[in-house]
Every structure is written in C-alpha cells, then in structure tokens.
Amino acid sequence: MTTSHREERTFLDSQELILNMGPQHPSTHGVLRVILKLDGEKVIGTECVIGYLHRGVEKIAENRTYAMFNPYVDRMDYVAAVSNGLGYCLAVEKLINVEVPARAQFLRVIMTELNRLASHQVWLGTHALDIGAMTPLFYTFRDREEILKIFEKYCGARLTTHAFRIGGCQYEAYDGMEQEVLTFCDFLLPKIDEYEQLLTTNRIWVERTKGVGVISGADAIAMGLTGPPLRASGVKWDLRKAQPYSAYDQFDFEIPIGYNGDTYDRYLVRIAEMRQSVRIIRQAVERLPQGPIMAKVSKMLKPPVGEVYVSIEAPKGELGYYIVSDGSLQPYRVRVRPPSFVNLQALDQMVKGQLVADVVAVIGTLDIVLGEVDR
Amino acid sequence: MLQYVTGYLSQPVTPGEAGNYIWALIYILVVIMGVSGVVLGMNWGERKALAHMQVRLGPMRVGPHGLLQPFADALKLLTKEDIIPAGADKLVFSLAPVAIIVTAWTVFLVVPFGRTHAITDMNIGVLFMLGVSSLSVLCIVMAGWASNSNYPLMGALRSSAQMVSYEVAMGLVVVSAVMMTATNTNVGTLSMIGIVEAQASQHFWFIFKFFPLGLIAFVVFAIAMVAETNRAPFDLPEAESELVAGFHTEYSGFRWSLFMLAEYSGMIAVSSIAVTLWLGGWLRPFASIHGPQITIPHYWRGGALDFAASLLPALCMFLLALFCLVGAYRMPRLRTFRIQTAGLTVFGLGLGFIGMVLLCPPVRDRVQDIFWFTAKIGVFMYLFIWYRATFPRYRFDQLMRVGWKVLLPIGLGVLILTAIVGVLL
C-alpha cells in the first residue's frame, strides 16, 4: 500500500488492529506469543511466535551419554515429566534391543497414568481459568497434590521426576505404594465428578466451548494433530491401543472419542480419559507381577549404529523420539516430536473468524506446554 | 450543642429536604467514609469468602486472619510509583479515575439508608441514580482511550457496549417497580424514600408484588446489575485472561486504587437500588406485624416483635465479637502469635463495645433501618462473590445476546404486564 493511500484514510475507515498477545500474558500458558490480526473483536489471522523458552534440549543430547540425557527430557513437558522419560527410555531400549522386565513395565504404566491424570488436572484448571472459572483450578491442584506426593515418595521428586532408567526402573515400589495408589483412585473418581459438576452442564461453560475451535477429523489428521484434540474430532487413534508399548495391551480400557471436534468435546474427552486412566491404574496395581525391575544394561551404553523412532501416547498427544546412533557413547542426533508443538499449529485454523475470547479458550484446549514447544 | 444535635436528630426529614447544609455536609462525609470503609472490609471479605469457596485460606498473615490486609494493600498502592505511559493523553488519563470516583460517590446522594438517613430525597431519585451511575461508562472509555494501548482500548469498547445494552433492560424493570408504587394511591413516585414508604404502606415488598411479576423484574435487575458493575460472569471489560486487566491495564498505584474503589462503590450503589426497589429498603422483614404489646419501663413500649428486631443489630455485633474472641482463644499459645491473638481480642472487644452502644435506647432506635439496609446489601455483596467463584466468563457476543434477546424482552413483558395488572386491580 502506498503512502498516499494511507493519508486518505480517515478515522472512520475500518482498519485491522494488530494485537500482540504475549509472551507475557496471563493466558498464553507460559511464553507463547500470538500476534492477532483483529477486525473489531473478530480474529482475521494469527501468527504464533515461539522460542522464548528454547533451551536447546536436542543439541544437549549430542553432548551427553544416553543415560545422562535421560533427566533432560523431563524438562520438556514439565507437567508430564514421567511420560517424557518413558518415551526416551523406550526409544533407547529399542535401539539397544533390551526387553524390560514385566514388573518394571507395570510400574511404568502406573506412574505414567498417574502423570496423565496430573497433566489433565493442570490442563483442566488452567483451561477453566482462561474461560473465567476460577474455582476448578484450586480443586484440581488440591487433588494433583496427592499424585505429586506419590511421586515424591516413589522417586524423591515431585515435578521433574526422572522416574525411569534405560532398561527398567531405578526404584522398587515403596512400602504400601499399591495400597496408596488404590486409595488415591477411590479418592479421585468422586473428585472428577466434582469438576464436572462445576462445568459440564454449566450453561456459560457450554456456550463458551461448544462450537469453538472446531476442527474436522480430516483436517486434524492433515495437521498432524494427536492426542485428545484428534480424538475429539472423531478419530479413534490412541497409540496405547494402536501400537501398544510397555504392557498396555494387557489392560482393559476404552478410548473416549468426541464427534464435533470443538472445545467442549475435547473437554469431555479429557475428562473421560481421566476416568480411563484410573481404570488402567487399578488393573496395573492389582496385577502387578513380582520379579526384577531392571534389565541387564551396560553402564557404558554403546548402542549399535542405527536409528530408531519410538512414539508413545503422552497426555497431550503423540510424543516421539527419533534417535540416531553412530555407535559412540553419545547419540548422534536426538529429535523429539513434541505433541504440543504439532498441535499448536492448528491454532490459526481453529480461531479464524472467531472472537478474541475464543483464542484463549483454544490455546487452553490445545493443552500446550511451552517447554515442550520450544524445547 | 448537645441539645442542638439531639434536637436535629429528632427531625423526621433528611438534611437535604430540611435545607440544612451543615448536616448535609456531615452526612456526605459520613457516607463517603462509610462506603470507603465498607469497600476496605469488602476487599477482605471477598478474598476470604472466595478463598474458602476455593479450599484455600486467603489472607492470613497481615493481622489476625488477614484483617489488616486491606490496609496494607492500600498503603502499598499509595506508595507505588505513579506511572503515566508515554504516548498517553496525560490530562484525560489522570482525569478518568477522578471522574469515575466522583460519579461513584455522587450516586449515594439519594441512597436511603433509613427514613431520615439519606443525604437528600429527590423526587427523581431513581432516575438520578441510574443516570449518574451510567456516567461511569464515560470514565471507563476515557481511561481506555487515554491509555494509548490496545488492551485498554478494547476493554473500554467492550465496557461501553455492555453497559449501554444492559441499561435498557435495567431501566424497563425499574419502571415496572415505579409503577407498583402507584397501585393504591394512583400517584407513583420516583423518590427512593417514597418507594420504600410505598412498600411499607402496601405491606408488600415489591419482589412479592403481583407474583411473579415483581420477582421476575427483580431477577432481571439482579442480572443486569452484575453486568452494569463489570463483575463476573460479565467482567469482560477487565477479563484477566483475555485483556490482561482491561481498561485499567496501564494504571497503577493510587489511580488504580480509585478504579477499584469505584468498582466496589458501584456494586454497593446498584445493590442499594435493588434493595430499595424490591427488597423494602430499610424495612425489616414482616415490618407490618408488631406482635403483642409489651411494656418495659423506661425502655420499651410497643410490639414484642418490634422489640426483638430492635435488639438484632446489637446481637449481631455480639455474635461477631464472640466469634473473634473464640478465635483468639483458639489461637496457638506461642510467642509468634502473641500480637495476633492480642489484636484479635482487641478487635472482638471493640465489636462488643459497638454492640453495647447499639443496645442503648436512643442509638438503638436510630440504627434499626441502617442495620436492615446494610444487611440486605451484604447479601448482595455475598452474591457477587459467589458468582465470581462459580461462573465462567461470558463471551462478548453471548453477553450481548443475553442482554438484548433475553433480558430486554423479559423486561418489556414485565413492564407491560405490570401496567395491565396495575390498572385492573
């Protein structure tokens, strides 16, 4: 546009408003920066600017041994650290071709599913807060505390747990862990009902989420969406069923799916997933086998030359690790496929034509963690 | 002097009506200070009530149970750096908070805390209140525009659209209440005191009048007034998760505190309209039932129920005092808590003293109406907090839809039906 054009414009001519949302904004879940192009309150387009939390995790991997890199992956999706560790361990185990003992596998399932619950609770609290409901945040964090206590007792850390090791688990279940986890399951189910009481049939909640950020199943697949955003669009794809890993094929659970692909369905899917997770945990605890928890893995791990891609169903979607080994002590290259990063690219499509308030709702419903997006 | 004061206090009219400027000035000061004090208390009460609904404790550190927290906050706000953003319109930017607080306080000119406890009684009281309280939208737009920033601008625009659309529904139901004052006498009144007196003479709070018309009108008003004061779930102009802080994003320190003060004063103001119009203002529940006549020498001559009601303010104070004293008794007996325990005890004793004062016959008779009015407003304040803990926030278009497509038709229907029923009866 030339300058002369610009001068002719008057105050009354409608102009797009460029609104810079973030990186310091209450509801961008960390340091996401979204540049919004607005017509009044209507969103014409968005552009995500990421990288404010970039720590070069993938590059760090190239200078660490395989075992040394293990704790670093916890720092990517820090609300679901256990899942990150599981994915990495599985990838390295596949690389060195080690079979993990059954007891370790079950322990891993228990921890991972507990972590899924914790992650979904963080999501629910912050998502509801974005939409303006304050109270669920405190309810979910109160209950998440119980999970973190179990983590702390198990491996000494609450958030960045480093719970698993390559080849199994470092720690045996502490005394009374089984009972504690079962008690927690009994404790949590009514609490999930409590969250639902506040939101599921709440008229304002339904109006704010139904028909917001709709994405069809085909579009979701084309965008590479995984996890709850994909399943809410009606695609029944869950890696725990599709490519069972870590003994998931031995458990009886369902994959909840939605139909409309909107924010409300994603909410329902995640709530249903929490119930399924409880179901899995119960089975895993009840059938926890005896035996060793660690396979024989050399201290100086030197995998054969080769490459491997292993993906798991993290709470936020498909978390994949692509590891290239050149036969040395350190990986030649580690590439992470973070679910948040891939899911985030659907933001533009989901909010186009909707209102500013929907942008925060959609950012919330995509359940992104910036540590994972930027790595 | 004392004679003059007591002589004045026995007058049956408000100072404004009597044309007594000195007393009007005293009343104005008392009301402004009272409102500011209530806002401070409300600040504490909101944080406490909200916290307990959300399984937290809320302020606990500053003073016993955080009682001094609002003062600490006020002190902090007053000592903060006063920032005016570069590029802001300095004059408008600094004028907006002053203007909003002036409008927020002007409203209280006509609020009847009792038959004689109002600064003045205007024959257009309700109109005056609605008019002045809607001026606050101007100040919000001023603030949003002068900040020269996107978020405040959007907040201001949202706010103006929201307030304008909810004022229509509000105005309609207010008119229906005004019509109700005319049922027996055929002469309606817009005067706030007149409206309460109409409810007294008709032996009906207007919320129960022409059931369910009064109730519906009240509910419409109760919803519209939340939108009018920008409180959750209609707090779009300051939607934290979307617009950071809305129209006062760029404000800090004292100017910001004026906005807060105005918001809470506004809540009290609209609640007082609702109380006056539908909940019988200063009348106690069952005000026309006096009970059997009893006589206590030098103390009481009249209905037993009236007597019981007249003891209530003092009893409430005693209860609060007891609450504080029990709390102090249950404090851990540790050195660290000594000052807190002492503070709580003194606070409780102070409340008890106020209760004793309220028990004295001359005071007791005069605070009756203030007590009931304040209690009713307190219920509304609690509702505001409750909403905030329970509801998510409406989106802008939904807010508009609720205003124009739901509340407005209901208000219009109530108005027409009230008119018809009023003529027929």
Q: What is the pLDDT of residues B320-350, one digit of tens each?
A: 899 888 888 888 888 888 888 888 888 889 9
Is B392 in Cβ contact with A132 (below 8 Å)? yes
DSSP H or E stretch at residue B212: none
Q: What is the pLDDT of residue A1?
A: 41
pLDDT at A3: 47
B241: nearest CB among A41, A129, A135: A129
Alpha-carbon distance B40 to B44, whole Å? 7
Q: Using the beta-carbon criterion (under 8 Å), do B395 and A357 form an inter-chain contact?
A: yes
Q: Do A132 and B393 touch (CB under 8 A)?
A: yes
Q: B46: Cβ–Cβ under 8 A, 6 or more apart, which residues? A: B381, B384, B385, B388
> By a Cβ cutoff of 8 Å, what residues of chain B touch chain A?
50, 53-56, 150-151, 154, 158, 232-233, 235-236, 239-244, 388-398
**Which pLDDT score is estimated for A10?**
55
Distance CA A293, CA A173 (A): 10
Contacting residues of B for A358, CB less than 8 Å apart = 395
- Tell me the HSE value of A50 on the side-chain side, using a 13 A CA sphere: 18
Residue of A nearest to B394 (CA): A204
Quick check: B55 and A138 CB within 8 A? yes
Instruction: Note the pLDDT of residue A324.
Output: 92
Tell me the chain B residues in contact with residue A133 when contact means C-beta distances shorter than 8 Å. Answer: 390-393
pLDDT cut 90: percent of chain A above it: 19
A141 touches chain B (CB under 8 A): no
Shortest Cα–Cα distance, A365 to chain B (Å): 14
Put simply, the answer to whether B394 touches A207 (Cβ < 8 Å) is yes
**How many angstroms separate the CA atoms of B242 and B231, rounded?**
15
Residues whose CB is less than 8 angstroms from the CB of residue B337 and which lie 6 or more positions away in sequence, other chains included = B331
Domains of chain A listed by start with CATH number: 57-300 (1.10.645.10)
Nearest CB to B395 within list A139, A202, A208: A208
Q: What is the pLDDT at residue B239?
A: 65
Whether residue A9 has pLDDT greater than 60: no
What's the CA gap between B257 and B46, in Å, rounded?
16
Which of A17, A26, A208 lies closest to B150 in CB terms?
Answer: A17
Q: What is the DSSP string of B271-293?
A: HHHHHHHHS-TTPPTTTT---SE
Q: What is the pLDDT of residue A6?
A: 52
Judged by CB atoms closer than 8 Å, whether chains meet at B394 and A204 is answered as: yes
CB of A364 within 8 A of CB of A127? Answer: yes
Three-state secondary structure of A180-231: HHHHHHHHHHHHHHHHHHHHCCCHHHHHHHCCCCCCCHHHHHHHCCCCHHHH
Average pLDDT across chain A, whole number? 87
> Which pLDDT does position A13 carry in this prediction?
62
> Is the confidence at residue A167, as pLDDT, over 90?
no
Q: In this complex, do B241 and A134 lie within 8 Å of one another by their Cβ atoms? A: no
For the record, the structure tokens of A207 come out as 């109006």
Give B331's DSSP letter.
S
Token couple for B116:
């004689």
Tell me the HSE value of B89 on the side-chain side, using a 13 A CA sphere.
13
Residues 6+ apart with CB under 8 A from B291: B303, B304, B305, B306, B307, B308
Q: What is the pLDDT of residue A270?
A: 92
Beta carbons of B54 and A19 less than 8 Å apart: no
Q: Please count the residue pairs, one from chain A and one from chain B, whose beta carbons lie less than 8 angstroms apart.
A: 85
Complex-level ipTM beyond the 0.85 threshold: no
pLDDT at residue A322 tops 90? yes
Give chain B's residues under pLDDT 70.
7-10, 186, 237-242, 298-300
Label residue A2 by pLDDT band (50, 70, 90): very low
For A193-249, how does the pLDDT look when each residue is reduced to its tens digit (9 = 90+)?
988 888 888 888 898 888 888 888 898 899 889 989 999 998 888 888 888 888 888
Contact A204 B391 (CB under 8 A): yes
